[in-house]
């Protein structure tokens, strides 16, 4: 299971990329930097919160993981 801080960092990096994409799309449709920025900010905040909790829930689901594998196993020293 990923740590909460790693999930948080993934959510932030995803939203930064999404913010710029959403701002560009908003600008294409509105022609306004201010309007596209507002749309992108609102969408990024909503997306960030949704993504973070989605990842947090799925990180606790064991379904689909190979039996006997763990991300927290000690390395063999090689």
Task: List pLDDT tens digits, range 17-70.
Answer: 888 999 999 999 999 999 999 999 998 888 889 988 998 999 999 888 887 655
Domain assignment of residue 75, yes or no: no
Q: How many CB atoms lie within 10 A of CB 33?
A: 11
Q: Give the pLDDT score at 69.
A: 57
- Is the pLDDT confidence value at 76 over 90? no
User: Which structural domain range is residue 12 located in?
Assistant: 4-58
Q: Give the pLDDT score at 36.
A: 96
Q: Give the pLDDT score at 1.
A: 76
Domain assignment of residue 44, yes or no: yes
Residue 76 or 55, more confident = 55
Structural domain count of the chain? 1
């Amino acid at each position: 299971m990923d740590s909460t801080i790693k999930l948080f960092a993934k959510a932030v990096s995803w939203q930064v990329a999404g913010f710029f994409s959403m701002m560009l799309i908003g600008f294409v449709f509105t022609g306004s930097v201010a309007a596209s920025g507002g749309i992108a900010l609102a969408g990024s905040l909503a997306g960030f919160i949704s993504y973070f909790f989605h990842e947090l829930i799925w990180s606790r689901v064991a379904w689909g993981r190979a039996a006997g594998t763990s991300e927290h196993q000690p390395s063999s020293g090689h």
